[in-house]
Amino acid sequence: MDAVTYALASQILAELDASELRWSTRSSMPTARDNLAAAPLSGDRVLAIGGYNGTTRLNTVERYDDASNTWTARANMPTARDNLAAAPLSGDRVLVVGGFGSTYLNTVERYNDAANAWTARASLPTARSGLAAAPLSGDRVLAIGGVASGNYLSTVERYDDASNTWTARANMSTARYSFAAAPLSGDRVLAIGGYNGSTRLSTVERYEGPVSTAVIQLIATIQAWAATKP
């Protein structure tokens, strides 16, 4: 960046009014609901899935397009549910995991946006609602925590879409439900907040995947040290 461009950018930033940093209203979702899940699709589109309308658990699916600021009805999910989790897969596909219908669910269904169709997938080993899901590399998804029959869970299970199988992973230190999770680089996942049956949590934990960053750094340090020895 040259001096003139830098000076102009600095002036613009200095004059930017805080009121210009704001939220903008977008088109309302056709179906009012809470305890739904959402997952991103390509092209700044978002899939809104399931939820609860105050009387009924829903299988409703609607897709938002940010470019046109419009919603489009999509194929209903086979299993109505709320307190579910969803995570994106490659090719504009979305994995939907668990939740609550008439009972705590282990149901897993995969949506394909190009075909506008749902496919049943291998059941989650641990039925639960209020869980979180986060995508990993290689079309894998981590299902984390949740609650079932009054038991607050630290359970973590990993789905592999290529083999359509689930694998148990290391439990969280803190059992929780109704929390948030987000992917980090290196197949790491951050779990944030939630409720453990008695306390609303500020606890944050990071899942390290098969080999933690700390171990990788330690190995690199040892290798560098070894290289200096005769």
The C-alpha atoms of residue 45 and residue 9 are separated, in whole angstroms, by: 31
Q: What is residue 12's predicted lDDT score, i.e. its pLDDT?
A: 63
Average pLDDT over residues 16-27: 78
Q: How high is the mean pLDDT of the chain?
A: 91
**Is residue 4 over pLDDT 80?**
no
Average pLDDT over residues 75-101: 98
The DSSP output letter for 79 is S
- Spell out the domains of the chain, with CATH numbers in brackets: 29-227 (2.120.10.80)
The C-alpha atoms of residue 50 and residue 160 are separated, in whole angstroms, by: 23
The C-alpha atoms of residue 165 and residue 58 are separated, in whole angstroms, by: 27
- Helix H, strand E, coil C: the string for 94-148 is EEEECCECCCECCCEEEEECCCCEEEEECCCCCCCECCEEEEECCCEEEEEEEEE
Q: What is residue 42's predicted lDDT score, i.e. its pLDDT?
A: 98
The C-alpha atoms of residue 128 and residue 83 are separated, in whole angstroms, by: 9
Each residue's pLDDT tens digit, 132-179 = 999 999 999 999 999 999 999 999 999 999 999 999 999 999 999 999
Q: What is residue 61's predicted lDDT score, i.e. its pLDDT?
A: 98
